[in-house]
Amino acid sequence: MPLAGAIGTVARMESVAESSGYGSGRSGRSVWLFLTLTCLLSWPIWLLSGVLPRAGAGAYDARWLLAQVGVFGPSFAALIVSGALRNE
């Protein structure tokens, strides 16, 4: 899905949540915070794993391991956002 389509989908989700009484501006901010943290945690790791030289003949090398660490970026972002919301 192109980025513009994803942004439009998020905006529609926010408007539905706000119109149905499920949240205020806080829920919209938490969605954007989650998306921003997900990109900031995952993409640099994935880009770095693509730049590293291939080491070893096996399928599992440093590039693969680093890419797998980046897979957990969305989970870490969700934990950070939910922890921040719990403190509010």
The pLDDT score that the predictor gives to residue 13 is 53
Assign 3-state DSSP to the chain and report helix, strand, coil percentages, each to 5.
80, 0, 20
For residue 50, what are the contacts with CB-CB under 8 A and spacing of at least 6?
Answer: 63
Average pLDDT over residues 27-55: 86
Tell me, yes or no, if the pTM score tops 0.85.
Answer: no
Residue 1: pLDDT band by 50, 70, 90 thresholds?
Answer: very low
Residue 20, pLDDT > 50, answer: no
The pLDDT score that the predictor gives to residue 75 is 92
**How many Å apart are CA 74 and CA 88, to the nearest integer?**
21
- Which residue in this structure is represented by tokens 């993409």? 43
**Who wins on pLDDT, 88 or 60?**
60
How much is the mean pLDDT over the chain? 75
